[in-house]
């Protein structure tokens, strides 16, 4: 079984390196050949397949290190191993490929700086007449994030017990519930809040309610992960002691688990509210209400002085909330 795992790890790593080589050769040959590089990618994958059997002869491949010979670095110097050069080549090829795909161009960055001078001039000259109306929008944003966090707490709190491995019984039903809750939470968390905001903007209409729903859904999924991981790290002594008295599932949760997690849960919740305040600005760009929506409108109208005023308010609010939430989290975690 370990030999199969070794082969698979080596095959994946070799394939990755050879696919990058194929991409780079094809990219640089396009200027010389009409159809680019003529050798098919499938041939490179076949070469990677054959190279993956090298662990039989060479004992210091990546797969061998992980599953067959973990003492390889103690037997010879690291820079003399096949793993070292494979990782080095992989990192180098990844960096070069990334530069090409992302189209990084430092010359364009410095030579076209003059295009932004007019914008920068207005950004450093904010329109203070917009202070009061944008302050009202900022208050809306803060409450949007607050309500999203508050409404997410009971759902996340309840689901986190079913997403904790140490609380779910090792039965078919227990494993099914655990896997289902974890999978759904991961899926919902992988969808960014801005996407949820687009969905709810169509569902309930443009405004702060759509933004609140988007942040609430994303907060539930994120807090389930944070809460459940904290539950998995609690001391099992009180749980075993209460279970020995014949306590049922709910009594174990109430008297053995909850007293150990209150402070960390509050710290995670405050941290999430801090995140939601920042994300509320982003969801406003797609109809989620708050000051983000006002920022998007002013940006589209190219009113950079107004944009500057809004950015100052957002930056100041984020700074204040970061300071407050940081102190509260430190107090709760050290309590």
**What are the pLDDT digits (tens) for 163-187?**
988 878 888 888 899 999 999 999 9
Judgement on whether residues 211 and 87 belong to the same structural domain of the protein = no
Are 98 and 131 in a shared domain?
A: no
Residue 114 above 80 pLDDT?
no
Together in a domain, 225 and 160:
yes
Q: Are residues 294 and 199 in the same domain?
A: yes
* Whether residue 264 sits in one domain with residue 308: yes
Pick the last residue of a domain from 47, 75, 104.
Answer: 104
For residue 109, tell me if it sits in a domain: no
Whether residue 29 is contained in a domain is answered as yes
Instruction: Give the tens place of pLDDT for each residue, 122-140.
Output: 788 888 888 888 888 889 9
Q: Rounded to an integer, what distance in angstroms lies between the CA atom of residue 315 and that of residue 293?
A: 16
43-79 tens-digit pLDDT: 777 777 776 666 555 666 666 666 656 555 555 555 5
pTM, rounded to two decimals:
0.75
For residues 133 and 166, membership in a common domain is answered with yes
3-state SS string over the chain?
CHHHHHHHHHHHHHHHHHHHHHHHHHHHHCCCCCCCCCCCHHHHHHHHHHHHHHHHCCCCCHHHHHHCCCCHHHHCCHHHCHHHHHHHHHHHHHHHHHHHHHCCCHHHHHHCHHHHHHHHHHHCCCCHHHHHHHHHHHHHHHHHHHHHHHHHHHHHHHHHHHCCCCCCCCCHHHHHHHHHHHHHHHHHHHCCHHHHHHHHHHHHCCCHHHHHHHHHHHHHHHHHHHHHHHHHCCCHHHHHHHHHCCCCHHHHHHHHHHHHHHHHHHHHHHHHHHHHHHHHHHHHHHCCCHHHHHHHHHHHCCCHHHHHHHHHHHHHHHHHHHHHHHHHHHHHHCC
Q: Are residue 87 and residue 195 in the same domain, yes or no?
A: no
Residue range(s) defining the domain that contains residue 130: 123-333
Name the domain count of the chain. 2
Are 63 and 188 in a shared domain?
A: no
- With beta carbons less than 8 A apart as the criterion, state whether 264 and 230 touch: yes
- The Cα–Cα gap between 231 and 156 comes to 13
Q: How many CB atoms lie within 10 A of CB 258?
A: 15
Whole-number Cα distances in Å, 184 to 159, 179, 275: 11, 9, 21
**Res 212 pLDDT > 80:** yes
Instruction: Indicate if 156 and 253 belong to the same structural domain.
Output: yes
Residue 39 has pLDDT above 70, yes or no: no
Compute the C-alpha angle 47/48/51, nearest 5°: 85
């Amino acid at each position: 079984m370990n030999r199969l795992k070794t082969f698979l790890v080596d095959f994946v790593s070799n394939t990755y390196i050879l696919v990058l080589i194929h991409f780079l050769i094809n990219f640089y040959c396009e200027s010389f050949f009409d159809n680019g590089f003529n050798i098919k990618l499938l041939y490179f994958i076949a070469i990677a397949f054959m190279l993956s059997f090298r662990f039989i002869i060479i004992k210091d491949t990546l797969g061998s290190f992980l599953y067959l010979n973990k003492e390889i670095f103690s037997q010879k110097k690291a820079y003399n191993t096949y793993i070292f050069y494979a990782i080095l080549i992989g990192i180098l090829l990844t960096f070069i490929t990334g530069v090409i795909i992302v189209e990084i161009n430092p010359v364009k960055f410095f030579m076209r700086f003059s295009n932004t001078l007019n914008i920068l001039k207005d950004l450093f000259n904010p329109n203070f007449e917009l202070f009061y109306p944008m302050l009202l929008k900022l208050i809306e944003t803060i409450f949007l994030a607050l309500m999203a966090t508050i409404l997410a707490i009971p759902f996340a709190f309840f689901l986190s017990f079913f997403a904790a491995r140490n609380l779910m019984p090792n039965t078919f039903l227990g494993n099914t519930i655990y896997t289902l809750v974890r999978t759904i939470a991961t899926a919902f968390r992988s969808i960014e809040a801005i996407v949820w905001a687009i969905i709810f903007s169509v569902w309930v209409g443009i405004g702060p309610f759509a933004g609140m729903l988007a942040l609430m859904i994303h907060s539930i999924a994120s807090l389930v992960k944070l809460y459940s991981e904290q539950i998995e790290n609690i001391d099992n002594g009180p749980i075993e002691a209460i279970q020995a008295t014949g306590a049922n599932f709910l009594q174990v949760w109430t008297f053995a688990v909850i007293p150990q997690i209150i402070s960390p849960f509050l710290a995670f919740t405050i941290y999430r509210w801090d995140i939601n305040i920042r994300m509320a600005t982003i969801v406003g760009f797609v109809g989620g209400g708050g000051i983000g929506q006002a920022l998007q409108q002013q940006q589209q109208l190219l009113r950079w002085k107004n944009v500057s005023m809004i950015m100052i308010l957002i930056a100041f609010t984020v700074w204040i909330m970061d300071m407050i939430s940081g102190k509260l989290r430190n107090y709760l975690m050290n309590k």
